[in-house]
Each structure stands twice: as C-alpha cells, then as structure tokens.
Amino acid sequence: MILGMSIATSTLVHVVISLIGIVSGLIVLFGMFGSRRLPGWTALFLLTTILTSVTGFMVGLTPARIFGIISLLVLARHCSLFMASGSAARGVGSTWVAPCSRFI
C-alpha cells in the first residue's frame, strides 16, 4: 500500500497525472509557437510534472529515480524563474528551453 492506496491504484494516479502533464505541456508548447503566454497552463504543466516525479518515487520506479532527481532539480529552477517572472515575463521562454536542451 502506498498512501493508503493499492499499488494498482497509485500507479493509475501516477499515470493520470503524467497524462495531464503531457497534455498541458503540449498546450504550452503550441502557445510558445504562437508567441502566446499561457501562465495558467504553464503552472498546471509545472505542477503535474513535479507531481509525476514525486509519485514516481512512491510507486517504486527504481530505474527512473536518477531521472526523477534530475527532473526535480531542473523543475525547481524553472519554478523559481516562473514565480520570479510574474508568470509571464519576456525572455522566459528562451530561459526555459536552454537548460532543457542540455538533456536532449
């Protein structure tokens, strides 16, 4: 049991959170292509991505733990930039993309 849920249920919660993160990330990506700032969608993307990493540790995805640690460190940086920018400052897009490109 993980947080009072069966392993199957906690895995399902992890997957649903991940899918919400993927969809919101795609919406933010297409917003960036159209030069539109979408602070609400960006906040949802960051939140669900953090929750995906955290719930991944609880589910017991041991091969992915190193990636989860790296992901949380990168997300901490981006959340601080997002909060400091007032959620929609100029230049934030390039600030966000450059650190992520190092991992590709």
pLDDT digits (tens, 9 = 90+) for 52-100: 888 877 766 566 777 778 878 887 877 777 776 665 444 445 544 544 4
Virtual torsion, Cα 70, 74, 77, 81, nearest 10 deg:
-170
Per the document, the length of the chain is 104
d(CA 31, CA 28): 5
Q: Quote the pTM value.
A: 0.66
**Domain residue limits, the chain:** 7-101
Tokens describing residue 1: 């049991």
| Residue that is written with structure tokens 């733990």 in the block | 65
Tokens describing residue 18: 């991940």
d(CA 8, CA 82): 34
